[in-house]
């Protein structure tokens, strides 16, 4: 018997103000972000939202991460510790900067912990890239303390954790630089785009150079490019669309938290299900809602949910990120050079990286693409569908 698909309200992050701003930008005859009023405002207001001194926008989350990493000017061969489950955008910029990604395990909350980072820390470590996976706020303050003790850098990849509190501050403000993607699926979006925040004047200045070809504009004679860089500039249209969302963002987060609590209550105690407990000490902003199913039943439950047309991704990225990328798995990088792994210790490989916590999580997860536009009734219906699937498959 065919199952009627569940109709879920579509997300519409772009309101009338975005349209108005776009019209203003178009009417101005210039969409370049160089001295563009919308991009300047976006950078200023984004930084102010988080209480940071500087905001630097770039054309994607990956671009903003690359911009942040490049601004650190770490020596090639330096190791950077990254959580084992993340988007490729956290990892690829490291390789382009000649750095060696080293992966740490996650705990049962899908968080990065001081203990798991310490387990892979070496004298070659120059930075930690903290991933706030699915909007759960990992131990930013503990990892900042560790970074300071070791004299290394803490970067926070908040692509999945916009406006996510930990203690009195938002994640992204604990690190030397906080990085946010505005890709279509993120809490705040311009289709593509990203913003980095920092309190460090020098890092901000280098990031501004890097995303603008390294160009120090306004020099009197020949052009000056004091930093190696790329063109990762955002355009005014993207900034025009992103800007109004700073005002709606807190509502987006609180609505997602509300819906997650509702779904938690529905899933509590179901056979084969565990409810995700985000890292302690922080609030989760639910970039998605991870349903955790006993590994032996996960695929069968996912197939059931798929029959109802639920927007899901079983296993999220499917494997620890270093197994997804041939650049790490097979060290296929620049030609046949193997760079930057030629700078790593003899015999370096990702083949035997032990991340049992991350693997266990990947085997359990069904990502449900929950968002703020869904209604209480829709979430209740999703909960009932999950309950039905678990009764059928597990019990």
Is position 59 an interface residue for ligand PLP (rule: CB under 6 A)? no
The residues, any chain, with a CB within 8 Å of residue 328's CB and separated by 6 or more, are 91, 95, 101, 321, 322, 350
| Residues near ligand PLP (CB under 6 A), total | 15
Of the listed pieces 46-54, 57-65, 66-74, 210-218, which binds ligand PLP according to CB under 6 A?
57-65
Q: Are 136 and 279 in contact (CB under 8 A)?
A: yes
Is position 60 an interface residue for ligand PLP (rule: CB under 6 A)? yes
Exposed/middle/buried for residue 98 (C-beta within 10 Å: 0-12, 13-18, 19+) = middle
Is position 239 an interface residue for ligand PLP (rule: CB under 6 A)? no
Binding mask 261-290 for ligand PLP (x = CB under 6 A): ------------------------------
Of the listed pieces 87-95, 96-104, 219-227, 365-373, which binds ligand PLP according to CB under 6 A?
87-95
Is position 138 an interface residue for ligand PLP (rule: CB under 6 A)? no
Give buried/exposed letters for 57-81 (b at 16+ CB in 10 A, else e).
bbbbbbbbbbbbbbbbebeebbbbb
Of the listed pieces 60-68, 137-145, 199-207, 350-358, which binds ligand PLP according to CB under 6 A?
60-68
The residues, any chain, with a CB within 8 Å of residue 50's CB and separated by 6 or more, are 170, 172, 173, 178, 197
Q: Which one among 33, 39, 159, 198 touches ligand PLP, defined by CB under 6 A? A: 159
Give buried/exposed letters for 260-271 (b at 16+ CB in 10 A, else e).
bebbeebbeebe
User: Residues 98 to 117: which contact ligand PLP by CB under 6 A?
Assistant: none
Report CA torsion sign: 54, 58, 60, 66: negative
Is position 156 an interface residue for ligand PLP (rule: CB under 6 A)? no
| HSE toward the beta carbon, residue 350, CA cutoff 13 A | 22
Q: Are 158 and 194 in contact (CB under 8 A)?
A: no
Is position 43 an interface residue for ligand PLP (rule: CB under 6 A)? no
Q: Which one among 36, 61, 101, 290 touches ligand PLP, defined by CB under 6 A? A: 61
Q: Taking the complex as a whole, how short is the minimal distance between the CB of residue 270 and ligand PLP, in angstroms?
A: 28
Which positions touch ligand PLP (CB under 6 A)? 60-62, 86-87, 89-90, 131, 157, 159-160, 181, 183, 192, 194
């Amino acid at each position: 018997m065919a199952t009627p698909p569940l109709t879920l309200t579509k997300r519409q992050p772009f309101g009338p103000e975005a349209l108005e701003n776009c019209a203003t930008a178009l009417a101005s005859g210039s969409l370049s972000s160089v001295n563009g009023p919308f991009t300047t405002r976006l950078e200023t207001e984004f930084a102010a939202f988080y209480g940071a001194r500087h905001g630097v926008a770039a054309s994607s989350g990956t671009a903003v991460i690359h911009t942040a990493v490049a601004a650190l000017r770490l020596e090639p061969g330096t190791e950077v510790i990254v959580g084992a489950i993340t988007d490729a955008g956290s990892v690829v910029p490291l390789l382009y900067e000649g750095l060696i990604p080293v992966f740490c395990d996650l705990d049962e909350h899908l968080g990065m912990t001081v203990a798991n980072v310490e387990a892979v820390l070496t004298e070659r470590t120059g930075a930690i890239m903290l991933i706030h996976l699915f909007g759960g706020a990992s131990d930013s303050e503990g990892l900042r303390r560790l970074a300071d003790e070791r004299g290394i850098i803490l970067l926070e990849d908040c692509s999945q954790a916009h406006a996510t509190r930990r203690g009195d501050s938002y994640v992204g403000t604990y690190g030397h630089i906080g990085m946010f993607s505005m890709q279509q699926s993120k809490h705040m979006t311009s289709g593509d785009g990203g913003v980095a925040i920092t309190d460090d004047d020098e890092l901000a200045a280098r990031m501004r150079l890097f995303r603008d070809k390294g160009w120090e504009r306004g020099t009197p004679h020949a052009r000056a490019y004091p930093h190696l860089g790329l063109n990762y500039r955002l355009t005014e249209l993207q900034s025009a669309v992103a800007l109004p969302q700073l005002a709606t963002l807190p509502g987006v987060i609180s609505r997602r938290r509300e819906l997650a609590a509702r779904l938690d209550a529905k899933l509590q105690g179901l056979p084969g299900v565990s409810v995700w407990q985000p890292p302690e000490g922080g609030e989760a902003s639910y970039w998605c809602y991870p349903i955790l199913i006993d590994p032996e039943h996960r695929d069968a439950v996912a197939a059931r949910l798929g029959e109802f047309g639920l927007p899901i991704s079983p296993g999220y990225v499917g494997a620890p990120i270093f197994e997804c990328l041939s650049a790490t798995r097979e060290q296929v990088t620049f030609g046949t050079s193997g760079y930057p792994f030629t700078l790593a210790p003899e015999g370096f490989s990702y083949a035997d990286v032990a991340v049992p916590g991350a693997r266990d999580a990947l085997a359990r997860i069904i990502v449900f693409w929950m968002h703020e536009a869904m209604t209480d009734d829709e979430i209740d219906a999703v909960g009932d569908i999950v309950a039905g699937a678990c009764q059928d498959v597990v019990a």
